[in-house]
Structure formats: structure tokens, C-alpha cells
Amino acid sequence: MLFNSLDFAVFFPIVFVLYWLVAQNKIARNCLLLVASYVFYGWWDWRFLFLIFISSLIDFSIGQAIPKAQGGKKKKTLLLVSLVVNLGFLCYFKYANFFIETFVDSFRLFGKELEVSTLNIILPVGISFYTFQTLSYTIDIYRKQLEPTKDALSFFTFVAFFPQLVAGPIERASHLLPQFYKTYKFNYNQVKSGLLLMAFGLFKKMVVADRVSVLVNQVYNNPDAYYGYEIILATVLFAFQIYCDFSGYSDIAIGVGRTMGFDLMKNFRSPYLSKSITEFWRRWHISLSTWFRDYVYIPLGGSRDGKFKTYRNLFLVFLVSGLWHGAAMTFIIWGAIHGVIIVVEKALSKQRKTIAQKLGFQTNTVSRKLFYITITFSIVCIAWVFFRANSLKDAFTIIENGLKLQWSQVLNFYELGLNAQEFWTAFFAITILVIFEWTHQKISFTKQLAAQPIVFRWTVYLIIVFTLIIFGVYGDTAPKEFIYFQF
């Protein structure tokens, strides 16, 4: 079920009303949330519900068994079972065909053709997200950082919680699970704040991301036909498409949770205002980057064993991150680009300050900030080429054609899939978004709005609703899936 669909527009109000009718009864409330979550996920394909159920059952049982196990060896064996089952499901559904194709291609390099066919596998929606979420539970128990829960209902609901089930944020059991033990009272301001955040997420998705995707798809699906500024425009717009699409989902998920009293972690903090790639990853997909930090980077040794191993660990984390995003070489290269830049930034952190001083950039000046933001955004966009390209060949074609700049070339925006009205709607929507995120660093618009007279507030609410109705539906009226559903 899509957040931007009519199905969800009917589903959510029903769940919301029923939830607050039984909110004071923890068992009834969690039963409702679990059933609603399974309905929400089963709307795509009910057959994959068994994956979530089995994963929940195994990790709940292992969580109970680890503290009771005698000796470290038995505890490690139990943790290994959790890792093998969860990562086994993930590897089979997401990476089996990738490994088969890579195996065949490696033999082809030596002139041998293998008659091996790929498997007919459907990728379960959101498997990468809920797998990491449930794994954090057993790992934290093994590390003695979390006490296992005896409340099976709360645990199963935690794993399947529908607002963030499909595309995050990837929650930790230590943060989200205890929230299912509580009872909540209806809070008008909290509900209003959640609805506003949902509306902002829908604006990002329906007004910006879905609209610019038309232009991006036309260029990236035909890379041989476009050059120079056309490639650059499509790449920059893809940067906004994926940000608005993914952060829009996170905003809606957090907003839905907030309307029911739940506090989900913030997943994005204006990442395109970052002044370095290191800072970018502190602002982009925060739940994933912190997950890799705690469960991959630190176990590898983190920064404890000297510079070389620190750089190695950082690079490996980003390679794995690239592979997590998709079973293709394009994603691995995307991860490698970020890994290399992160290592370079860490190695040259002192020299960076020296260079800034020689260029005359004073600390915290607007010019210095804009310079670093521009450089960082440019690097991110170049890496996005590999993320978005349909194949490695297409990625190199796009980069090659993008370098063929001709000053005499006239860029006709309206020959790239969007007519004049749709193009300028996207342009103004992105401009509003950038201004909002820049100023929102110092000004809380939610608090500012709450302080205004009721007539003004409701005028703003109606403007938001009509903006979504008028500009959020166009062309093909079928709701478009969120990009991260494929990961």
C-alpha cells in the first residue's frame, strides 16, 4: 500500500480512529497495529508476510534464549542463527541472481560460457529495512546493551510497524520497542504536527519527485540521445527527485507515527546543505548510516587500530552500503565513490583548513559555506549518475555525453518530457523547498505557525491541501512507487 494512494487515504483514517478508541488498552491497541501492519504490507503480496512472521518469531525466540545460554560459545551460536536466517532471506531474494550473473561473467572473462540461468525471484518490498531492524535487536541483546522483551505481541508489532516498515527509518529496538509498552492519550498538538509533516512529505513526493522523474527518466533511459546541459539538468533533478522521494517517505512515516503518539527517529537533516561528504552522511539516511557505524564499522575495528585500518574500515562500510542499496555494479561503484571521498576527507582534514585559509575563506562566512556546499553537491550528483543509471555502460555514456558541453547549445527544457507548465511548477517547488530548508535551520516554521491566529493557521492548512490536490496529480494519475521500495 502506497502512502500516496487512495487506498492509504481510506486505510489511515480508519486505523487512526480505531487506534484512539482502544489506545488506553495496550493489548487491544497493539493487536490493532499488528493486524493493520500486516494488512498494509500484504496489500502488495500477502505471500511475503511469512518472511516477516518467521523473522519475528526466530529473533524473539533467540532474544529469549541468549541471556539463558551457558557460555559464550552457545550465545555466539544463537546469534549466528539469527544472522544466517535473516541475512539468508535477504541474500536469496535480493542477491541470488546478482551472484549468479557475476559468476557467469567471471568465467566469460576466460573465454568460457556457462549455461546457467537466473532464478525467477520477486524481491519482497522493504526486506532490506526490516531485516536490519530485527537484526539490531538480537545483536544488542548479545552485546548486553538491551534486555530481551517477554512481550511477544509488542515485539511482533515493533518489527512490522506499518509507518516505517517498507522504507524506514530503520529503528533500533532500544528506541522504538519500549514505546509499544506505553499507553497514550490523545494530544491535539501532536496529531496536528504529525499531519503537517505528512503533508510536507506528500508535497516532496507528489509535487516535486514524481514530476521531475518524467524528465529524469526520459534522459536516463535514452543516454545516447542527450548531451551537455541536458545530462547535467537531468542529473541535478535526479538529486532532488531521490531526496524528495526518500525523505518524503520518511516524513510521512514519522508523521503517521506521531499522530498515534510514537516518536520515530529523524532520517534526514537537509543533506544538500552539507559542506563535506562526511557531513552529508551525517545528514542523509541517518538511520542507515548509524546502523552501519554501530554494526559494521565498529566491529571491524573502527578507528582503534591506526590510520590505515580506519581508512580500510570506512571504505568497506561504504562498499557494503552500496551493495545494500542494490544488486548491481552501479550501486557498488556509487558506494565506492563515497568511500574514497570519505577516506580522502579524513586523511586531508588538516590540509583542508590550510587550503581554505590560502583561498581567503574565513571561518563560518557565507562565501566559505556556499563554496563547500557547491563542491559537495557536485560530488554527490556525479555519484548519483551511477546510482540512477540502468547499467554500468549507461553510466559511463552519461558521464561522457555530459562532458560534451557546447556553448552554442540551446537547452530546450520542454523537449525533455515536461511541458512548460509542469517544468516551471517543478522549478518553483524546488526553489521553495531549498529556501525552506535553508531557513529552517534557524527558524522552526511549525512553532511559528502555531503562534499565529487560528484564521491564519487554517488558511495555511487549506493552501497546503489544495496545493497537493492541484499540483500533486497530473499526467498518469496512478500513484508512483517510492524509489527505495526496490531496495
Give the per-residue pLDDT at 407. 63
Return the closest-CA partner of residue 175 out of 332, 294, 50, 90.
294
Q: Mean pLDDT over all residues of the chain?
A: 86
Instruction: Estimate to the nearest angstrom the gap between the alpha carbon of 214 and the chain centroid.
Output: 21
* SS3 at position 273: helix
Out of 76-90, 154-168, 466-480, least confident range: 466-480
Give the per-residue pLDDT at 437. 84
* Residue scoring higher pLDDT (107 or 170): 170
Classify 141 in phi/psi space as left (phi over 0), alpha (psi -120 to 50) or beta: alpha
Q: Is the pLDDT of residue 323 over 60?
A: yes
| b/e 213-233 (16+ beta carbons within 10 angstroms → b) | bbbbebbbeebeebbbbbbbb
Out of 109-118, 260-269, 428-437, 452-461, least confident range: 109-118
Give the per-residue pLDDT at 473. 65
Residue 380, CA distances (Å) to 56, 211, 384 in order: 36, 21, 6
Give the per-residue pLDDT at 160. 92
In a 13 Å sphere around the CA of 30, the CA atoms on its Cβ side amount to: 19
- Of 175, 325, 338, 440, catalytic: 325
Q: Is the pLDDT of residue 410 over 70?
A: no
Q: What is the pLDDT of residues 7-43, one digit of tens each?
A: 898 999 999 999 999 999 999 999 999 999 999 988 8
Instruction: Determine the average pLDDT of the residues in 96-111.
Output: 66
Distance CA 180, CA 178 (A): 5
Predicted TM-score (pTM) above 0.85 = yes
Q: What is the pLDDT of residues 328-356, one digit of tens each?
A: 889 999 999 999 999 998 888 777 677 66
Out of 66-75, 324-333, 406-415, least confident range: 406-415
* SS3 at position 306: coil
440 catalytic residue (yes or no): no
